[in-house]
Amino acid sequence: MMPRFIGMTPRLVAAGLFATLLWLPAAQANTERRPTRLDRKITMMVVKYLQKNHYTLPEIDDDVSEQLFDEYFEELDPNRHYFLQSDLDEFSVYRESLDDMVEKGDLDFGFKVYERFIERVTERLEYVKSIINDDFDFTIDEDILLDRKDLPWPKTIAELDIAWRQRIKNQLLVAHLLDEEGAKEEAEKEKEPAVNDTEDPVKDENAAESENTAEVGIIDDTPQEAVVKQLEQFLKFRDENDNADILEIYLSTLTRIFDPHTTYLNWRQLEDFDISMRLRLQGIGATLTYKDGYTEVVSIIPGGPANKQGALKPGHKIIAVGQGDGEMMNVINMQLNKVVRQIRGAKGTKVRLSVIESLHSTPKTISIVRDEVKLTEGEAKGEVHKVELTDGRFINVGVIDVPSFYADFDALKRGDPDAKSTTVDVRRLIDEMVEKDEIAGIIIDLRSNGGGSLEEAISLSGLFVPSGPIVQVRRVGGMVDVREDLDDGFAYDLPMIVMVNQLSASASEIFSGAIQDYQRGLIVGSVGTHGKGTVQTVLKLDRMRSFRDKKPGAIKFTMAKFYRVTGASTQKKGIAPDIAFPSFLDHMELGEAELDHVLKWDTIQSQPLNRNFTQITPYVEELHERSDIRLAKNELYQHLVEDIAEFGKRRAEKYITLNREKRIKLREEEEYWTERSQAVLGSDRDNDDDHEDA
């Protein structure tokens, strides 16, 4: 929550800060958005290209038009919080003509509905402001429906008001309980005796700073202010969306009707996609997040320009950005992805950042020369674990965490020796472990690896299996391409395990499927993998003559399905592990089969395999029995099974109470189960979904 200040000093400081920003040009909301000639050309190209090149060779007809009509409203308002049935009725004149319109590049419907969406969100904000200070009664028994997506669209404003009154009541209840919990924690801290038995000047200085902060009197927003601010921010971000954003939303709604993995990428998304595959960018080398209206520095990437310059620190809030010696642009309350685009830039160019350390500090300007930044956090990583055998001996086991199947395709084509590649990195890690630690086995961790490069999945598989087929790829028209590992033999013949879960998808399923089909290693994990058995490619539109010198984005579309060498597809069914363990993910709708418009499961002809090595299959039953015996004796594991069952029970709840006392009891129960889970699993990995590298 954004801190606010009480007393003269903070007001003066805040006034000084924002007075400093008055001369800065600010990002403006879009008062009028209309499709441009470029938008129309992009639309026609996307439609024309997909009709000829998508795996299903789709026809865009009246049926597609009706689906696009319904799903665009649902995409903008999935929980029925803003649109009325009358909005859909008003726009129903488009219902059966959208197919013809998109073929002509006509985006009238997409842009007009988006403007209506902004109007409806604005109306909801005004309604929230009108009721936010009402006296909500938290003593009565009342429940709120958690998921409204299957409800009919509200027919009247009054019906929508009822839903919103419940929604605001729920948000206020949550905010009040959080405030009470925070106050309780502060009171407990105050009871603790102060410890200061040294005369360290650094500690003394920090103590003085804390006293000054307390004197200033910073407090959090009230629950009412926090709820209003949240919706204001939601509206602001949607209203700042430009043509590229709206085009992406509308065209991707269309393309996902063909299958859930076919999308249009605007130029910003394409840039992020390229970075995720190359694991490198040109910028300053800082991980940023959006917090309470500010772009905040989360961390500095080692070896990057910001790290070498030294002035930018974690916790700094970026309030303005300038290119070279040009004017500074105010970026307070600007969407993170748009701030990031201002900070990234060509190697050798200068960017200036105006930053503050806190809301009551003086802004300072930091100049950084951009350079190439390597994103090492996305690379494969390895560590060695000592494992005790049943006879009391210890062996070293190498664990390789593979977060994605990445490859810098352009650098690889150039023969760049520093080109990023999953296979190159994994091979280097294992070689080091074999040489230094004499590992006796390998674990490849593909949990939550959503896939990536098909070529990398094939080449990585080749490190562990002899030469032969790895995967079969069926393209448009039914032509099957058997993709093989052409190396003579395999690089490593160590015993191996592959770890998977429901978020292991696509290239992860190719790799784990090949290991299982060759009976080369043991697949362990949750009940199954994601079940994404399709192959996508990316067509960058700027490679076409009519789009040169522009930023038209790209089409990521499904051009093939892949099949295991046994002939079975992984589509919808995924890879079943040899040994399965219960997981919290079992109770989430995560698999391919849960998505709309998925392609069907089928089979093709199998391929002969060379298994002239020790196979895992004869040992699977015994390994399974040993695992069951160990787990039956493991008290922590039994607790985990109970925790997972309780989690599934809570996930199935469709309503939640708005009665304060019942909610407190519910929260206490959740805290109990959370503490139990943490005791078993330890702390979860940091969630960096809302972070971007610049």
Active-site positions? 506, 517, 532
Is the Cα torsion angle 133, 134, 135, 141 positive or negative in sign? negative
Can you tell me the distance from the alpha carbon of 314 to that of 295, in angstroms, rounded to the nearest whole number?
Answer: 11
Burial of 694 (0-12, 13-18, 19+ CB in 10 A): buried
What are residue 34's phi and psi, to 5 degrees? -130, 145
Alpha carbon of 425 to those of 98, 285, 398, 447, 458: distances in Å? 47, 21, 14, 18, 15
Is the Cα torsion angle 96, 100, 101, 103 positive or negative in sign? positive
Among 355, 364, 361, smallest CA distance to 10 is for 361
Which residues, listed in sequence order, are joined to residue 288 by a DSSP beta bridge?
297, 692
Among 127, 122, 138, smallest CA distance to 165 is for 127
**By the 8 A CB rule, do 555 and 49 touch?**
yes
Distance of CA 76 to the CA centre of its chain: 19
Tell me the helix, strand and coil percentages in the chain, rounded to 5. 45, 20, 35
Token pair of 598 as six digits: 């998925």
Q: Left (φ > 0), alpha (ψ -120 to 50) or beta: where does 357 sit?
A: alpha
- Residues near 266 by Cβ (< 8 Å), separated by ≥ 6? 244, 245, 247, 248, 553
What are residue 450's phi and psi, to 5 degrees? -80, 0
What are residue 43's phi and psi, to 5 degrees? -60, -45
Strand residue runs (E) in 309-440 = 317-323, 328-330, 350-356, 364-369, 371-374, 381-388, 394-401
